[in-house]
Structure 1
């Protein structure tokens, strides 16, 4: 009997041990379920749809690369890409410049009310995208907006923010920069604070000015984080939707239309799911190529020895 009891005890211990090993996976199971259901499945389902004629409730037939060819031959798609590239070329460097300057100012020793200043700079990020876009549309309104009113006070002509292609793009740049400059400022500031103070102390002893320290110590040490911010900003700019949709509705004459708006129009207005999926994958490939190019050109943000 004692031998049977011993065997049973071993089995009980094994079951308990198996339960202990299984417990962490049970806690992770909900995450994996939602991740597969709302991330993995849509990605592969969209890839499948991109090779079909899926449209509304109609049966989807296999069409191969026809959707991809149609997207690449569509002038409106290329115009939407040109639109975001114009915004990207101006907005991303401007935002990184402002973020670096503001972070350097907030990193100064002896600065009072640092917490308050950081909150003020980061506050735009906390404001809802739709809310701030609507507020900007009121502020920059061509007829009764405060910006044009102030321009008339100093004898300048009101600006056609919504009807002139150049100023419509400028409005998008202003809005996006206002919202995300603070986000990049906080990231860059956290990187600045991790730089060893002994480097600046040595530079002081060598007689280096604050400007020389900034360009020869701070900026080189910030290369990895600046690359990180540049890649995130590039992806975010190409994926612009809310601002151009609510501020300019893609106009005038599609001058502020973006790839995501283009995909939305075909996917959720025309219900041409196959075509929209192909456009989404082409946009994703372009984003990946740009990110890879940025990594190559900056050597992965490596700090020179």
Structure 2
């Protein structure tokens, strides 16, 4: 049987396991292990996989063959073009609408601000599958509400999801509907951080509301613009859910994005090595564009 002396010895031994120097490692250890297992290992594994060809359970080292194939793949260039077309059109429109809504809700003339803020932000937390299904019903060529409303004013029905041009428009509309409220909240936070004294001084000097907007509001929101532009760009370059649910990349690959092509390559055709190569090229594209944006903004600030 253990005595009181043995118990005190065991307590002392347990206490010596954690010292002031080792204590931080005990705290961050579990999180670090999870990061290594679920983040670092998959990243390194997929990077190695991009230099291999997978056939069943066999992996064969092929060097840069996957990357060489990538730059001769017309579907990759098509998906890259589609992604940038959506990016160039959707992001400016979305941010412009977000800024207008934020300015309106920041105004003292608007009542029930809390209600409108929640209403505009709700799409960002709505399940994307459910929202996309609703839009598929609304945009249905034959029975959709949108074409029905167009017929009431004498317009022909639009092939929203079966025409290459209108399919892109549909994806842009759904993305704008979903993320406008999210960016509106960010702009609203930026507007609330602008000192009111600046507007009061401008009013005393005789500056109109329009001049105050362009000479005070826009410059003060520059950090917010940087954040929203960079994050929206990264999000659009990773666009997958909307085209996958609405159009499955069609018609005729008109809405095929890079991430959707990556997904189909890996999980439809089981070319995991080639899919990994696509993923790392996408990472490089995102890194380069983000660096260019940050560099450009830094030059403007200088």
Query: What TM-score does the superposition give when structure 2 sets the normalisation length?
Result: 0.92
Alignment correspondent of 1:163:
162
Q: CA deviation at 1:87?
A: 0.6
Q: Deviations over 1:250-304 (max 9, x none)?
A: 11100000111111111111111111000110111111111111112222774x7
Instruction: Name the SS for the 2:281 alignment partner.
Output: helix
From the superposition, tell whether residues 188 and 55 of structure 1 become closer, same or farther in structure 2 (CA, over 3 Å). farther
Instruction: Name the SS for the 2:250 alignment partner.
Output: coil
C-alpha separation in 2, matches of 1:155 and 1:178: 26
User: Is the CA contact 1:139–1:145 (under 8 Å) kept in the aligned structure 2?
Assistant: yes
Q: CA deviation at 1:18?
A: 3.6
Are 1:33 and 2:33 matched, yes or no? yes
* Structure 2 unaligned residues grouped into runs of 5+: 1-7
1:149-160 map, 5 Å: 149-160=148-159
1:118-129 map, 5 Å: 118-129=117-128
Instruction: Name the SS for the 1:61 alignment partner.
Output: strand
C-alpha separation in 2, matches of 1:261 and 1:155: 37
Are 1:246 and 2:240 matched, yes or no? no
Alignment correspondent of 1:221:
220
Q: CA deviation at 1:22?
A: 4.2
Alignment correspondent of 2:204:
205
Alignment correspondent of 1:62:
61
The more displaced of 97-106 and 17-26 is: 17-26
Q: Deviations over 1:133-152 (max 9, x none)?
A: 11111111111000000000
Alignment correspondent of 1:184:
183
* Structure 1 unaligned residues grouped into runs of 5+: 1-7
C-alpha separation in 2, matches of 1:56 and 1:230: 42
1:1-305 map, 5 Å: 15=15, 18-19=18-19, 22-57=22-57, 59-109=58-108, 111-299=110-298, 302=301
Query: What TM-score does the superposition give when structure 1 sets the normalisation length?
Result: 0.91
Count the aligned residue pairs.
294
Measured on the aligned residues, the alpha-carbon RMSD in Å equals: 2.2
C-alpha separation in 2, matches of 1:17 and 1:267: 47
Alignment correspondent of 2:5:
none
Instruction: Name the SS for the 1:54 alignment partner.
Output: strand
Q: Deviations over 1:22-57 (max 9, x none)?
A: 455434333222211111111111100001112432
Instruction: Name the SS for the 1:249 alignment partner.
Output: coil
C-alpha separation in 1, matches of 2:13 and 2:73: 66
